[in-house]
């Protein structure tokens, strides 16, 4: 999450804790966030820094809208990453209507404090939730969700967080990827970038 000096003290402290290790990256930032989500019971963060958490479910029709992106099954990890990107975009469109966050814009600075705006803590937490649901439903054949990741550490730039996943034993590479939805408006495909490239400070051109 990129910050500026107008960031709220609570959110600034949260990022300090995240990058210092006082809060582990594999722990969701609030106790009321469901860590074993499924289509009938999952959490969605918004209001910047997960200040608001809503408990949601999907109808069968909504789930079919998401799961259709995995038909036919991917024959490679690369093909599955495109399916994942499309499914995350579909999740955001559906959940955006449920939580009145459809107007979330890419990034944060220009829209900080706007109604329905998400920051990278919200985005990385939500995308991790969506990846866990896809895995639980058996749709991820080539990948495993990872703990969300953070870069920046103040020395090399402001902290920024993203969801992540790695290739599994079906692949010869076991490569790791950031799944970063923060750089696009609600309902747009996230960027799925090699994690080493993302950690180096990658941003979309």
- Give the residue among 167, 164, 163 at the shortest CA–CA distance from 141: 167
Q: Is residue 18 over pLDDT 80?
A: no
Residue spans per domain, the chain: 37-199
Beta carbons within 8 Å of 138's beta carbon, 6+ residues apart: none
pTM, 2 dp = 0.84
Phi and psi angles of residue 66, each rounded to the nearest 5 degrees, phi first: -80, -50
- The 8 Å CB, 24+ separation contacts for 153-161 are 153/19, 154/19, 156/201, 157/201, 158/1, 158/2, 158/3, 158/4, 159/1, 159/2, 159/3, 159/15, 159/18, 159/19, 160/1, 160/2, 160/120, 161/1, 161/18, 161/120, 161/121, 161/123, 161/124
- For the ranges 37-41, 140-144, 156-160, 183-187, which has the lowest average pLDDT? 156-160
The predicted-structure confidence for 64-103, as pLDDT tens digits, reads as follows 999 999 999 999 999 999 999 999 999 999 999 999 999 9
Strand partners, 164: 146, 178
Q: Please report which confidence band the pLDDT of residue 108 belongs to, taking 50, 70 and 90 as the band edges.
A: low
Q: Please report which confidence band the pLDDT of residue 29 belongs to, taking 50, 70 and 90 as the band edges.
A: confident
pLDDT for 172: 85
pLDDT for 23: 34
pLDDT for 114: 59
Strand order in the sheet with 191-194: 143-151, 160-167, 176-180, 191-194
């Amino acid at each position: 999450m990129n910050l500026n000096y107008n960031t709220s003290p609570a959110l600034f402290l949260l990022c300090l804790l995240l990058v210092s290790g006082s809060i582990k990256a594999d722990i969701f930032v609030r106790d009321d966030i469901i860590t074993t989500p499924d289509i009938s019971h999952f959490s969605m963060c918004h209001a910047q820094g997960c200040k608001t958490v809503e408990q949601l479910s999907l109808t069968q029709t909504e789930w079919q809208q998401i799961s259709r992106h995995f038909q036919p099954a991917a024959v490679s990890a690369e093909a599955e990453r495109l399916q994942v990107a499309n499914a995350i975009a579909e999740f955001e469109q559906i959940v955006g209507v449920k939580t009145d966050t459809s107007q979330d814009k890419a990034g944060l600075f220009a829209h900080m404090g706007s109604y329905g705006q998400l920051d990278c803590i919200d985005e990385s937490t939500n995308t991790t939730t969506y990846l866990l649901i896809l895995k639980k439903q058996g749709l991820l054949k080539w990948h495993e969700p990872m703990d969300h990741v953070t870069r920046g550490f103040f020395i090399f730039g402001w902290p920024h967080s993203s969801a992540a996943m790695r290739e599994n034993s079906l692949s010869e590479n076991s490569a790791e990827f950031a799944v970063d939805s923060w750089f696009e408006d609600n309902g747009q495909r996230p960027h799925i970038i090699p994690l080493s490239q993302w950690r180096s400070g990658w941003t979309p051109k």
